[in-house]
Chain A
């Protein structure tokens, strides 16, 4: 079955430190890949997406992600975290246009001052 794994349930980083959130998916073909962020009491906001081409994609709010086919991974990174980045981050994959998204369990990010 198709699945998405986010190994880290909760991560705490200091403000200004770098961040990497991990995401792995299971499937033979290359899916569409997404990262969403959910702030408390809010819906999901799309941070970035990967369909094809350059494996390093840039998103909003200074985030980037790198697709590694050999590792079936799509890790999210940010060089310097801000306190406002504290939120829940979800990795999601889709396998066809107009189809459902499969979400990982989410990683809760806390930011220390």
Chain B
């Protein structure tokens, strides 16, 4: 399986600021995804990061709040913009390589606290 790293692993931010989270994979993958896990909750997909084009967002998530980049097949970023305490969550990226299977592998997550 792919080895996935995320930076930062955790951060404490003030409301109104923005944070960019990086996701790096050790091999080229077809699909990259960003999920949110609110405290004590399950995971919800924010968007699918498409290489070379705009991300595809799920209902309830918008590009202005969660801009995503994917410049190549091994790297993606998620920005949480104009943060509020409600954005305090764990943000996880996952990858899926369509040539190898349908399972998704997850990074270690970024724990974000907004004060």
Q: Tell me if chain B binds chain A.
A: yes
Chain A residues within CB distance 8 Å of chain B: 32, 34, 36, 41-46, 49, 51, 90, 92, 94, 97-98, 100-101, 103-106
**Of B1, B33, B106, B111, which is within 8 A of A100 by CB?**
B33
Chosen A-B contacts, 23 in total, with CB atoms closer than 8 Å, are A32-B102, A41-B111, A42-B109, A43-B106, A43-B107, A46-B1, A49-B103, A90-B42, A92-B43, A97-B102, A98-B30, A98-B31, A100-B33, A100-B45, A100-B58, A101-B43, A101-B45, A101-B104, A103-B42, A103-B43, A103-B44, A104-B42, A105-B42
In the complex, number of A-B residue pairs with CB atoms less than 8 Å apart: 55
Q: How many Å from the CB of B38 to the closest CB on chain A?
A: 12
- Report whether A51 and B102 are in contact in the complex, using a CB–CB cutoff of 8 Å: yes
**Of A43, A46, A105, which is within 8 A of B103 by CB?**
A46
Considering only CB atoms and an 8 Å cut-off, how many residues of chain B contact the other chain? 26
Q: Of residues A44, A49, A90, A94, which shows the largest number of chain B Cβ atoms within 10 Å of its Cβ?
A: A44
10 extra interchain contacts, Cβ-Cβ under 8 A, other than A34-B104, A94-B104, A103-B44? A41-B111, A43-B108, A43-B109, A90-B42, A98-B102, A100-B48, A103-B42, A103-B43, A105-B41, A106-B42
**Residues of the B chain whose Cβ atoms lie less than 8 Å from the Cβ of A90:** 42-43
Q: Of residues B58, B103, B105, which shows the largest number of chain A Cβ atoms within 10 Å of its Cβ?
A: B103
**Residues of the B chain whose Cβ atoms lie less than 8 Å from the Cβ of A46:** 1, 103-105
Chain B residues within CB distance 8 Å of chain A: 1, 4, 30-31, 33, 41-45, 48, 58, 92, 94, 96, 98, 101-109, 111
Q: How many Å from the CB of B111 to the closest CB on chain A?
A: 8
CA distance A41 to B110 in the complex (A): 10
Q: Of residues A36, A51, A92, A101, which shows the largest number of chain B Cβ atoms within 10 Å of its Cβ?
A: A101
Which 3 residue pairs spanning A and B have beta carbons closest together? A44-B106, A43-B108, A100-B45
Q: How many Å from the CB of A39 to the closest CB on chain B?
A: 11
Closest to B44 in A: A103
CA distance A43 to B109 in the complex (A): 6
**Residues of the A chain whose Cβ atoms lie less than 8 Å from the Cβ of B109:** 42-43
CA distance A30 to B76 in the complex (A): 31
